[in-house]
Amino acid sequence: MIKDFKEFIMRGNVLDMAVGIVIGIAFGAIVNSIVNDIIMPPIGMLLGNIDFSNLFANLSGGKFASLAEAKNAGAAVIAYGAFINTIINFLIVAVVMFFLIRVFTRFRRKQEAAPSTKDCPYCFSVIPIKATRCPQCTSEIK
């Protein structure tokens, strides 16, 4: 059983997936910082100095000056400001992923669109696209 587990872990795709997850977590932290530290402050300023991370709906009926104060008091709250930040994080990640996939798709299409071989019209063997003579049957190819 240990041998099987070791083989599973050492497979290339498992290691690639692990690297992808680690990079994804790091990318998530960067996006979080971009949203919370760069994007949201100007938006909050434009909307009347609103701190989105501090927006909440109090369900318990008490008066609290901040979300942290309400949470420390154990009040039931809906932290919709944090939800707005999370939606913006998701949209940024979605846009970045869209453009990455778009670039890779275009690159793949270019590779698929340019064939590197062709068939000899006389012996039907596969030859390089730029060949002017078939190496198999020595026929001249136009």
pLDDT tens, residue by residue, 104-116 = 888 888 777 778 8
Domain count, the chain: 1
Higher pLDDT: 114 or 93? It is 93
80 falls within a domain: yes
Judged against a pLDDT cut of 80, whether residue 10 lies above it is answered with no
138 falls within a domain: no
Whole-structure pTM value? 0.56
136 falls within a domain: no
Judged against a pLDDT cut of 70, whether residue 19 lies above it is answered with yes
141 falls within a domain: no
Residues 6+ apart with CB under 8 A from 63: none
Domain that holds residue 93: 2-128
Please identify which residue in the block is written with the tokens 């064939």: 115
CATH number of the domain within which 106 lies: 1.10.1200.120
> What's the pLDDT score for residue 36?
82
Residues 6+ apart with CB under 8 A from 112: none
> What's the pLDDT score for residue 4?
85
